Chains A and B, each alone.
Chain A
Amino acid sequence: MALNLIGLYLALKWKKPTIRKLPALEAVAEAVGRAAEMGKPVHFTTSSGGGGLYTSEFGVGHLAGLAILGRIARYCAANGVTLVCNFRWPEEVPVATAIVSQAYLAEGVPEDFNKDNIRFVAGGQMPFAAGVMGYLERERPASAFTLGPIWAESLNLLGTGQQVGAFQIGGSSTWGNTQFVVATCDYFFIGGEIYAAAAQVSEDPRQLGTIQGEDFAKVFSIALCIVGAILTTVGISIFG
């Protein structure tokens, strides 16, 4: 946390940090453009991980996915593409409704916003997966976004998206199912990129500063690992 604050301070006092372009974030425009050309909707979900917004471990992943939803909604509103969001956790529905409605308002087309497209599917993991799979099979969206803490239903959702030919962008804030995201998605966020994407969307120097601080923390962790490995190899144990 201290290193994050140092990164934030340096970003405000020194210069705005630049972070590399995230291919998956750059591909959002391509995904929405594909949907506009095909005349089909775009699908978004944060997947079913954890206890929704109320869990400490997975709530941050849901928020990061919802932050990226804002950019997706802006592109959809600008291109006249229908955006359908399916959620497992009901508390995400009003949050997503606010995000998407604001995006349509910002693009000057508030009349195109349909709140029926922001849906609570089911409270259970597999009922949610069944509902979303059914939607994907019936509506066959041109593009599908799965961003959040992805759990075991990942292969159900992503595999079905692949079967219906959707252009998929995925990102998991949990590590356990990342391999399925990599195998089934055209573009994906690996590891902490989903958190960085939420900051890059805003281009706010304060948010980019925390990304810089995140890099400081990673360098510090790597240095600790190297020092620990050397000390352990020579037989020195600090912790007894």
Chain B
Amino acid sequence: MEWYKQVAFPAVLTSIVIVIIFFGYFTVLEPLNVAFSRVTIWSTVIAAFALIVGAGGAIMLHLRHISKKTPGQWPFSIVLIVCIVAMSVFGLYGGPSQPQYAWMFKWMYQNLGATMSALLGFQIVYVLYKSFRIKTVEMGIFTVTATIILMRNTPILETIFPGLTNIGTWVLMTPMMSAQRGALIALGIGAVAYSVRVLLTHERGHFGGER
């Protein structure tokens, strides 16, 4: 196998970049600082080319759906292709400030995104209905705590049950905050351990599956 196709090459390259980024950020050595800024710019360029590859792949996939008339998919593929072409044409013609592009972004893209966010409210109700089954002690504690917090955030219930806000605030600021901070510490330590594995080229799962 060619040397650049072996897993060791990208693993070692990753380690070199990690060292440059790490020491370039935390030291004031001129060569490392220059290397740090150059690597940062290169990653932006790579991300841009990756976007071209990803978008190109998505367009080809949806064109295949249209040509094959994949049931339940091809009408949406047509809409996607039309939107991509329209946004690309107007965006490349005049940039983000081009009136038609700005109009589509403001009145179509952002509103559709807000609609998706609004769906979260309905999803929460559905998930609560499906998930809050008190079958174990842990689920009982989960349900009671969630109910208290929900009631705390409902102003009208404060007038019916005075002191509810204080109870809910205590739950948020004491047990929940301590658990959250403990979990954040564990997550941070886990991320550092993972980074050490990547730096030492021990972690290669993201290069080509299990070895």
Task: List chain A positions with a Cβ less than 8 A from chain B.
Answer: 1, 4-5, 8, 52, 54, 60-61, 63-64, 66-68, 70-71, 73-74, 87, 89-91, 93-95, 98-100, 102-103, 106, 116, 119-121, 123-127, 129-130, 134, 138, 152-153, 155-156, 158-160, 162-163, 173-175, 178, 180, 182-184, 190-192, 194-196, 198-199, 201-202, 204, 206-207, 210-211, 213-214, 217-218, 221
In the bound complex, residues from chain B placing their C-beta under 8 Å from that of A106 are 209-210
- Against A, the Cβ 8 Å flags (1 = close, 0 = not) of B94-124 are 0000000000000001001100110110011
Question: Are B205 and A126 neighbours in the complex by a CB distance under 8 Å?
Answer: no
Tell me whether B190 is interfacial, beta carbon within 8 Å.
yes
In the bound complex, residues from chain B placing their C-beta under 8 Å from that of A98 are 207-208
Question: Are B203 and A159 neighbours in the complex by a CB distance under 8 Å?
Answer: no
Question: Are B189 and A199 neighbours in the complex by a CB distance under 8 Å?
Answer: no
Tell me whether B47 is interfacial, beta carbon within 8 Å.
yes
Interface members, chain B 173-211 (any A CB < 8 Å) = 180, 183-187, 189-198, 200, 202-211
Task: Give A16 Cβ to nearest chain B Cβ, in Å.
Answer: 13
In the bound complex, residues from chain B placing their C-beta under 8 Å from that of A201 are 205, 210
Question: Are A54 and B43 neighbours in the complex by a CB distance under 8 Å?
Answer: yes
A210 to B61, CA, bound (A): 41
Task: List chain B positions with a Cβ less than 8 A from chain A.
Answer: 43-44, 46-47, 50-51, 53-55, 57-58, 61, 64, 72-73, 76, 109, 112-113, 116-117, 119-120, 123-124, 126-128, 130-131, 142, 180, 183-187, 189-198, 200, 202-211
A-B contact count (CB 8 A): 188
Question: Are B50 and A91 neighbours in the complex by a CB distance under 8 Å?
Answer: yes
Given A91-B46, A195-B190, A198-B203, A163-B126 contact (CB < 8 Å): yes
In the bound complex, residues from chain B placing their C-beta under 8 Å from that of A64 are 194
Given A68-B205, A90-B51, A183-B127, A138-B183 contact (CB < 8 Å): no
A93 to B206, CA, bound (A): 12
Question: Are B58 and A156 neighbours in the complex by a CB distance under 8 Å?
Answer: no
Partner of A60, one of B47, B64, B142, B195: B195
Q: Which residue of B lies closest to A176 (CB)?
A: B180
Question: Are A73 and B51 neighbours in the complex by a CB distance under 8 Å?
Answer: no
A52 to B193, CA, bound (A): 19
In the bound complex, residues from chain B placing their C-beta under 8 Å from that of A68 are 205
Task: Give A94 Cβ to nearest chain B Cβ, in Å.
Answer: 7
In the bound complex, residues from chain B placing their C-beta under 8 Å from that of A152 are 117, 120
In the bound complex, residues from chain A placing their C-beta under 8 Å from that of B192 are 1, 4, 214, 217
A64 to B128, CA, bound (A): 29
In the bound complex, residues from chain B placing their C-beta under 8 Å from that of A194 are 190
In the bound complex, residues from chain A placing their C-beta under 8 Å from that of B207 are 98-99
Q: Which residue of B lies closest to A104 (CB)?
A: B209
Question: Are A217 and B54 neighbours in the complex by a CB distance under 8 Å?
Answer: no
Q: Which residue of B lies closest to A123 (CB)?
A: B51
In the bound complex, residues from chain A placing their C-beta under 8 Å from that of B208 are 70, 98-99, 102
Question: Are B183 and A199 neighbours in the complex by a CB distance under 8 Å?
Answer: no
Question: Are A120 and B203 neighbours in the complex by a CB distance under 8 Å?
Answer: no
In the bound complex, residues from chain A placing their C-beta under 8 Å from that of B193 are 4, 192, 195, 210-211, 213-214, 217
A173 to B189, CA, bound (A): 11
In the bound complex, residues from chain A placing their C-beta under 8 Å from that of B180 are 175
Task: Give A199 Cβ to nearest chain B Cβ, in Å.
Answer: 7
Q: Which residue of B lies closest to A213 (CB)?
A: B193
In the bound complex, residues from chain B placing their C-beta under 8 Å from that of A184 are 127, 131
Question: Are A90 and B205 neighbours in the complex by a CB distance under 8 Å?
Answer: no
